[in-house]
Every structure is written in C-alpha cells, then in structure tokens.
Amino acid sequence: MRSSLWLIVTGLIALGATHPAASQPAQGTPVKTGAPRPLPPDKQKMILDQVKRSTDLPQASLSEPVRVGMTIPPEVELLGLPQDAATTVPTVTTYNYLIVGDQIAIIEPESRKVIQLLKR
C-alpha cells in the first residue's frame, strides 16, 4: 500500500513538472517592450500619403488641444493605420491614429498615449 501511494505521488509530481503550461507565462501577461518610438521621416511620409488618400476619415473632437504625451479618453474612437502603411511599415502595425484639425496623432493603443504628431 505504501509503495502504491509513493508511486502515485511521484507520478503526480512528475506530471506537474513536465506540464507545458507550468513553464510558460499565463496568457495575457504583459511584456515590456520599451517606450514607443516615434516614426522616422520616411515612415511618416508613407502614413501621411495613405491618410491623405482617404477623404472620408472622421475627425476626433477633444476637450483640449492634442499634444504628445496626452492620454486619449476611452470614448474617442481610434483609427487603425491604413493596411498598405501597416504592411509597408511593420513597426507601426500596433499603432493607431486619430485626426484632429490639421494634425494626425499617432497613438500607442495600450496606453492610449499620443506618441507623435504629424502635420496633415
């Protein structure tokens, strides 16, 4: 009886130690990737060209002037970067944007912070 119990306990320990999920982080665990980086001039031009070609994009209405570092309220809809720009510029596929007046604000979607302003 005692040896059976020992085998069961040993088997359970071995099972737990080799379970794939035991060595992996839980889903949804945030991974720090550093601060969002502004876009270089050539990437800015690609995005500006894409946005200028889309004449029906909505304008955002904010209670204060848009500026780098500000957090965009959750009720303001963020737009996805145009697909052509996202595939041409893989570093910006996770960014969003919004249009406020004559500016395009590039937004880091997780924090909803403005990381860069482009003159439209």
pLDDT per residue as tens, the chain (120 positions):
555 555 565 555 655 544 444 444 445 454 455 667 787 787 788 778 877 888 788 899 999 999 999 999 999 999 887 665 555 555 545 788 999 999 999 999 899 999 999 998
pLDDT number for residue 39: 76
Reading the block at residue 59, the tokens are: 């304008």
Region of 34 (left: φ > 0; alpha: ψ -120 to 50; beta: rest) is left
Q: What global pTM score does this model have?
A: 0.62
Q: For each of the domains in the chain, give its residue range(s) and CATH number, in order of start.
A: 36-119 (3.10.450)
Residue 108, phi then psi, degrees to nearest 5: -85, 115
